[in-house]
Amino acid sequence: MLRPAAIPFLFFLLLPGIAAADATAPPLIAERLSLMKDVAIYKAERDIPVEDLAREAVVLDAVVKAAAEHGLVPETTRAFFQAQIDAAKHIQACWIGRWSSGEARPAQGADLVEVIRPELLRLGNAIVAAIAVDIREGRSAGSEAFHDIVVAECLSGDASAAMARALGEIALQ
């Protein structure tokens, strides 16, 4: 389920005249990763594996297309999103591991298909657009500030570093 703290941020992105591209990439990346606990709840409730390679392929294909539309090198953008997917899987596995070890799992999460995936797709598109704007405006999205902004419970330092590194390697065509 979307957390109350996320609602003002999402509302800001939906205001008339405010495009997702007006936001810098790191806050959008953090927002996307914040949904992984809900993904983990959904998967744990239904005993679904964390890894879904078919779904990853769909997401990465969409990213390659969006990258080209925004003037980004598709391969570098794909590499970043793969790092983000790997981080997301790590976060999900961490939560499921905690619950398997006895930590109380929230009773119910948002529906993956009807609620979470559409939001993940929206955020993915917004991230690609924001990366293009960040690069064009000379903002280094893969900078030190990345680690201060992109924070999520269960996000490992290695996964964060891999995302920052891949984000810093995205280039314009």
Note the pTM of the prediction, 2 decimals: 0.84
Show the tokens assigned to 42: 């959904």
CA–CA distance, 20 with 22 (Å, rounded to integer): 5
The alpha carbon of residue 124 and the mean position of all alpha carbons in its chain are separated, in whole angstroms, by 7
Which of 2-6, 74-78, 155-159 comes out lowest in average pLDDT? 2-6
Residue 140 clears pLDDT 80, i.e. is over it: no
- Say which CATH topology domain 6-168 has: Chorismate Mutase Domain, subunit A (1.20.59)
Based on the number of CB atoms within 10 Å of its own CB, is 117 exposed (0-12), middle (13-18) or buried (19 or more)? middle
147 vs 157, residue with greater confidence: 157
Q: For the segment 35-87, what is each residue's pLDDT rounded down to a tens digit? A: 999 999 999 999 999 999 999 999 999 999 999 999 999 999 999 999 999 99
Q: For the segment 100-138, what is each residue's pLDDT rounded down to a tens digit? A: 999 999 988 899 999 999 999 999 999 999 999 999 988
Q: How confident is the model at residue 156 (pLDDT cuts 50, 70, 90)?
A: very high
Q: How confident is the model at residue 141 (pLDDT cuts 50, 70, 90)?
A: low
Asked whether 162 and 83 are in contact (CB, 8 A), the reply is: yes
Residue 148 clears pLDDT 90, i.e. is over it: no
Q: How confident is the model at residue 142 (pLDDT cuts 50, 70, 90)?
A: low
Write down the pLDDT at residue 107: 82
Asked whether 123 and 38 are in contact (CB, 8 A), the reply is: no
CA–CA distance, 63 with 128 (Å, rounded to integer): 7
Show the tokens assigned to 105: 């799992």
Write down the pLDDT at residue 108: 82
Sequence ranges of the domains in the chain: 6-168
Residue 157 clears pLDDT 70, i.e. is over it: yes
Count of other CB atoms within 10 angstroms of residue 103 = 9
Show the tokens assigned to 73: 């090198």
